[in-house]
Amino acid sequence: MSQKNVQFTVAAHIAAVLGYRYGEDVTSAILAGSVNAEPTFVRRSIAKLAKAGIVSATRGKNGACTLARPPQDVSLLDIYRASAAPATFAIHDYDVQPVCPVSDHIKESMAEVLDDAQAGFEARLAARTLASLIDSIQLKERP
């Protein structure tokens, strides 16, 4: 069974809350409650977003976060890259069996396929802004 990596979706969730509440200070406790995840995991995600210049964060008792730029100026690719999530696809690391031509060449051939798929995935993320994600959320809110 493959493992799921949620770093990107958690980072997008955090950014969406900050975009939804753009201009407000939001605590990491509120963000952790919204994500329903461990506060330390959420704080690590906030730190990655801050390092990428997507979020401004202050520490301490009165610490809070805000979106560092307007939601329309943040692409989902910006968030994906900031999250440091692993590539969407990966090649297995089983030993090559040189007696089998497929085993001998599958990794190299699949690398080309997966690189192409990853580029397409990233192009789609680049075309979507955080504002469009927030718009989608707001549309689903309405009766």
Q: How confident is the model at residue 141 (pLDDT cuts 50, 70, 90)?
A: confident
Q: Is residue 12 part of a domain?
A: yes
User: What CATH number should be reported for the domain holding residue 81?
Assistant: 1.10.10.10
Q: Is residue 61 part of a domain?
A: yes
Query: Residue 3 pLDDT more than 80?
Result: no
Q: Is residue 103 part of a domain?
A: no
Q: The whole model's pTM is what? A: 0.87
Q: Is residue 63 part of a domain?
A: yes
Q: Is residue 112 part of a domain?
A: no
Segment 63-76 shows an average pLDDT of 95
Domain residues for 64?
Answer: 7-87+129-141
Give the tokens for residue 101. Answer: 């031509």
Q: Is residue 43 part of a domain?
A: yes
Of residues 41 and 88, more confidence is placed in 41
Q: How confident is the model at residue 143 (pLDDT cuts 50, 70, 90)?
A: low
Give the tokens for residue 71. Answer: 């939601």
- So what's the pLDDT on residue 65? 94
Q: Given the structure tokens 């959420």, which residue do they identify?
A: 42
Q: How confident is the model at residue 72 (pLDDT cuts 50, 70, 90)?
A: very high
Number of domains comprising the chain: 1
Q: Is residue 68 part of a domain?
A: yes
Q: Is residue 113 part of a domain?
A: no
Residues 26, 12, 38, 60: what is their CA dihedral angle, to the nearest 10 degrees?
Answer: -30
Q: Tens digit of pLDDT for each residue in 104-133?
A: 999 999 999 999 999 999 999 999 999 999
Q: Tens digit of pLDDT for each residue in 27-55?
A: 999 999 999 998 899 999 999 999 999 99
Question: b/e for 76-104, b at 16 or more Cβ within 10 A?
Answer: bbbbbbbbebeeeeeeeeeeeeeeeeeee
